[in-house]
Amino acid sequence: MTVILDGKKLRDKILEELKTRLEKYDSSPTLVVILVGDNPASRIYVNNKKKTAENLGINSIVINYPSDVEEQVLLDKIHELNSDKNVTAILVQLPLPEHIDKFKIINAISPEKDVDGFTPENSGRLFTGEKPYVYPCTPKGIIRLLDEYEIPIEGKHAVIVGRSNIVGKPLAQMLLNRNATVTICHSRTKNLADITKTADILVSAVGGKIIGINMIQSNCVVVDVGIFKDENGKTRGDVDFDTVAPLTSYITPVPGGVGPMTIAMLMSNTVELFEKNL
Ligand code: GUN
């Protein structure tokens, strides 16, 4: 029997808990989101983050810049936010326009306010085993979802398709920290299906229709991070859900799986940074 991993239901439970946790404080966290340009997907994500934060009583400020903003303007703003005691969390929405060095921007964020866990200090800590201030939101959300359904990780073969700094790489490390055997696949991987067929846990974070029924073994746990609109305007993920789902033990839907968990973990990270700063 296949169980659907319900990210929306778990998100709602987590947000409820966070709201109660925040009620006992006299002050509130302030999350500042920097959005550059007018990428429609980024705009939707940022609006969603703002709305969710406000519902929890988190102050949420979105700073918009035009796509031709100079790198130095962003760096100056980040330095200002770093030294502002009222600001407890900073997020720079990715992707950034080509003329901006994303590493320079991310590196400028103070690690104690780095709500994505993307700075070299936080990612370095993740990779060495020293605790980062917070863990990256999407990988954290995936693991939280697996834990909620009591899906064992230790000793399992986890195959991740996608090697981004946002999902693939940090998730690999976090699963390794939980004693999974981890394989990372990517666009140059040869014989992808031979590898994905050996997965106990398969995570796809590519953003294209790539995972079909011939690529998984039965009873696999499938986590679909991809989300895009197909040629008919339908929201879908990397996995061909209708054919693959019956073969799996657990699977995330798109939408309603990983996406809501990412937002919930962003709120959780915002609260954690705020509490560390009290
Ligand atoms: N763009 C897509 N996902 C993310 C994320 O988790 N954090 C940031 N900052 N940008 C993103």
d(CA 114, CA 233): 35
Task: Out of 107, 116, 262, give the residue to mutate to test ligand 1, the one with the largest number of ligand atoms within 8 Å of its CB.
Answer: 116
For the question of whether the overall pTM of this predicted structure is more than 0.85, the answer is: yes
Which of the listed CATH numbers 3.40.50.300, 3.40.50.720, 3.40.50.12160, 3.30.565.10 matches domain 137-259?
A: 3.40.50.720
- Catalytically annotated residues: 49, 93, 116
Task: Out of 166, 169, 261, 262, give the residue to mutate to test ligand 1, the one with the largest number of ligand atoms within 8 Å of its CB.
Answer: 166
Residue with CA nearest ligand 1 atom 4: 94
**What is the atom index within ligand 1 of the atom nearest the CA of 137?**
6
- Report which residue type is found at 180: A
Which residues have CB under 6 Å of ligand 1? 91-94, 116, 137-138, 166
Q: Cα 19 to chain center, whole Å?
A: 21
Domains of the chain, residue spans: 28-110, 137-259
Tens-of-pLDDT digits for all 278 residues of the chain?
Answer: 999 999 999 999 999 999 999 999 999 999 999 999 999 999 999 999 999 999 999 999 999 999 999 999 999 999 999 999 999 999 999 999 999 999 999 999 999 999 999 999 999 999 999 999 999 999 999 999 999 999 999 999 999 999 999 999 999 999 999 999 999 999 999 999 999 999 999 999 998 889 999 999 999 999 999 999 888 999 999 999 999 999 999 999 999 999 999 999 999 999 999 999 99
Instruction: Report yes or no: 36 and 74 within 8 Å, Cβ to Cβ.
Output: yes
Identify the CATH number of the domain defined by range 28-110.
3.40.50.10860
Topology alike, domains 28-110 and 137-259? yes
